[in-house]
Amino acid sequence: SGYCNNIKYRDIKYNNKGHIINKQSKIYLTDQIDQITPLVVDINTQADGFIEGLTSSFSSRLIGTLVGNVLAAFLLKYLADNLWNFLTSTFSNNNNNININNSKKNANSKAIP
């Protein structure tokens, strides 16, 4: 298999029969994650590495996506609220106009003997 070169000694665990528990696919996946996510660092001891991770393409794309989603959510909520306010105010104004017109008609009809 092509993943043997990626095996690290710390990743190999043996059961009581001496067989390796970790499958190579899992070890390969952990290696891929190590390469992809420079964000996973100890902030106290590796602040420089953390800043490097923030500026890397993967991390900045991730953070950009999160910020974008939050902004989009706020924008949608704002639009929804305003649309609701606009619709309700429009309909209520129409109702008021109708009521005013009806009351004028009633007043006129009562005034005529």
pTM of the predicted protein model: 0.25
Give the H or E element holding residue 100: helix 57-111
3-state class (DSSP) for residue 14: strand
Q: Render pLDDT for 5-52 as a digit per residue (tens, 0 to 9).
A: 444 445 555 555 555 555 544 445 555 555 555 544 444 555 565 556
